[in-house]
């Protein structure tokens, strides 16, 4: 082989540098489809509560559909669990939560729950001193002990499960 042919064969190849693709700032963040199973028209997945009756389990999943946004999907199921928990509370008690790492007793009265997709679950309420608090949790880090606290004063006990359930129904994908 001549020197020219050898040089032609061994010429360095110009490689384009791969720039990371950045989504448009207003593009929605969507979890990869492989994170979810295809449940069709059936609610999924169903909770496994050995002591729950089939009717109670069905009530937890009634009208619930999978969500592509993982924070929204966690919010939907958390809302159903809060609604179910409130059904068992005495009329003089309202929902509270005990959270490790909070000052004092670590208990807050939950006044509202929300999410900010793709990753945050938000708990709004009051601490034991009545001061407003906002707990922001990653959907994969939710560790909340639902608890009950005696309602203050003469007003009726607040129930947030119903309003959360209405929000879940309004945002159902089907």
- Residue 162 pairs in a beta bridge with none
Give pLDDT, residue 171. Answer: 75
Name which residue leads in pLDDT, 23 or 162: 162
pLDDT, tens digit (0-9, with 9 covering 90-100), for 105-140: 778 888 899 999 889 999 998 888 888 989 898 988
Q: Please, are residues 94 and 158 in contact by the beta-carbon 8 Å criterion?
A: yes
For residue 43, what pLDDT is reported?
47
CB neighbourhood size of 14 (10 A): 5
d(CA 52, CA 88): 13
Say if residue 13's pLDDT is above 60: no
User: pTM score > 0.75 for this model?
Assistant: no
């Amino acid at each position: 082989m001549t020197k020219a042919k050898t040089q032609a064969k061994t010429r360095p190849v110009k490689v384009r540098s791969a720039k990371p693709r950045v989504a448009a700032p207003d593009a929605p963040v969507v979890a990869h489809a492989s994170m979810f199973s295809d449940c069709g028209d059936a609610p999924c997945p169903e909770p496994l509560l050995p002591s729950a009756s089939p009717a109670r389990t069905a009530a937890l999943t009634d009208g619930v559909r999978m969500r592509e946004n993982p924070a929204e999907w966690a919010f939907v199921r958390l809302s159903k669990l809060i609604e179910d928990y409130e059904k068992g509370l005495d009329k003089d008690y309202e929902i509270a939560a005990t959270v490790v790492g909070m000052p004092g007793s670590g208990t807050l009265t939950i006044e509202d729950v929300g999410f900010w997709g793709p990753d945050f679950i938000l708990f709004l309420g009051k601490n034991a001193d009545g001061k407003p608090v906002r707990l922001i949790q990653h959907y994969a880090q939710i560790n909340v002990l639902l608890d009950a606290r005696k309602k203050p004063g003469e007003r009726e006990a607040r129930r947030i499960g119903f309003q959360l359930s209405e929000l879940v129904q309004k945002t159902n994908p089907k």
